[in-house]
Copies of this chain bind each other. A is one copy, B any other.
Amino acid sequence: MKKLCDFTKEEIAAFRDEARRRYDKICSRSLKIDMSRGKPSPQQLDMAQEVFDGACKITNYKSKSGFDCRNYGLLTGIDEAKELFAELLGVDVKNVIVGGNASLELMFSFISQCVTKGIGGCEPWCRQDGVKFIAVVPGYDRHFGIAEYFGIEMVNVPINENGPDMDMVEELVKDPAVKGMFCVPKYSNPDGYTYSAETVERLAKMKPAAKDFRVIWDNAYIIHDLYDESDELLNIFDEAKKYGTEDNFIEFCSTSKITFPGAGISALAASDNNIKEITARLSMQIISYDKMNQLRHAAVFPDVQSLKNIMKKHGDILRPKFEAVLDTLERELGGLGIASWHKPMGGYFISLNVETGSAKYVGELCKNAGLTLTGVGATFPYKNDPEDKNIRIAPSYPSVDELKTSAELLCIAVKLAAAKAVSES
């Protein structure tokens, strides 16, 4: 196929007119589709509910240690839930804390702790000047939101198919003001890249200037595969142990996209030192998390295999949705040289990069036709995509039919924007 940049003036005009005609036609349908967030679909929730209700036979409210889960106590979680996450994350049970329904809350509270109290025996970040974080971009808007909330300056480091640009990262951590980094190491949000073995090793090997440097290792999509064949991610703590850098990493995950987004359980894994500091703070913050929900989850999911079983069912629901979008992208935009994307093997998003300076315009065109995308720019700190080119697609919630329409509309908008850009250049 001929690239748009090689089109003649007449070909561009015809290309634009055809896109405009199709755009107007779609506009006339008064669509109302929300593709903005990575929300699981009702179909996934019903499936999870079935698995849950079918397996959940809690009769005496007691954990296996005999503790009445309805009462106060067990700050760091019940044993069976800790064991489940320990197996999932490949760490010792003693290095796991099981939380409430939101891993985001665990992250927010951890960063808050660093800000108010400091970590690793260092001064609180609120008393240090110009604290910075590395933001792997494009990335997850809620990570950036936490840093922005606490006034932590973010420095962009681009991601590629192997993970963040490690040359840049290694350079940046020489600055003692650089205190940490947000990573979604598997099926990254939004690109769906998984960090390569080399990237994980280089991260593990790093000796940042800041003693209180901490990587938020948000393993949100740890077993969220779309296919039988899945990306492989090295265990960050196994690697870190080789270099004595375990304190640099705090890993987070949850069952939000395994069972219920609002009613699952979360966990963090960390070194002995970090667990000690986090537990000391938690003991002031809460008496115990909801152990009944932990008990329900542990009853339904006695081991990682049982988690994988339900994730296969999620994959079966999500795969056709991802493929509906990817097929449309390929069919409409393939070879034109006006957009690029990666086909993810898991996770919740597809990341579409369009012509520099045109993502906002694409977003507007879609919005005017009834399709809400993730706010353009939101995949960058301060909602500012410096090149205005990245668009996050969240295919999980709409139906396959809606996704086909949405993806088609999106592609038409990309074409209109590209025709405009090429005409103006």
Stretch at the interface among A82-90, A99-107, A188-196: A99-107
Distance, CA A256 to CA B116, complexed state (A)? 28
- With A and B bound together, what is the CA distance between A14 and B129 in angstroms? 68
A263 located at the interface, meaning its Cβ lies under 8 Å from any Cβ of chain B in the complex: yes
A128 to B145, CA, bound (A): 25
A287 touches B115 (CB 8 A): no
Partner of A293, one of B287, B288, B290, B291: B290
Copies in the complex: 2
The one of B71, B73, B126, B262 in contact with A72, judged by C-beta atoms closer than 8 angstroms, is: B262
Decide yes or no whether A289 CB sits under 8 A from chain B. Answer: yes
Inter-subunit contact B70/A284 (CB<8 Å): no
Decide if A112 is an interface residue (CB 8 Å cutoff): yes
Q: Is A45 touching B68 in the complex (CB atoms < 8 A)?
A: yes
Interface residues on A, range: 35 or more
**Chain A contact residues, CB within 8 Å of chain B:** 37, 39-40, 42, 45, 48-49, 61, 68-74, 100-102, 104-105, 108-109, 112, 115-117, 124, 126-127, 142, 145-146, 149-150, 256, 260-263, 281, 283-293
Judge whether B263 and A69 touch: CB under 8 Å: yes
Which residues on the B side are within 8 Å of A117 (C-beta)? 149
Q: Do the beta carbons of B100 and A101 come within 8 Å of each other?
A: yes
CA distance A339 to B281 in the complex (A): 36
Contact present for B102 and A261 (CB under 8 Å): no
CB proximity of A189 to chain B, nearest CB, Å = 14
Query: How near does chain B come to A360, taking the closest CB pair, in angstroms?
Result: 23
Q: How far is the CA of A290 from the CA of B112 in the complex (A)?
A: 22
Report whether B286 and A72 are in contact in the complex, using a CB–CB cutoff of 8 Å. Answer: no
Contact with A70, one of B45, B281, B287 (Cβ below 8 angstroms): B45
* A290 to B102 CA separation, bound complex (whole angstroms): 9
The interface residues of chain B lying within 8 Å CB-to-CB of A142 are 284, 287
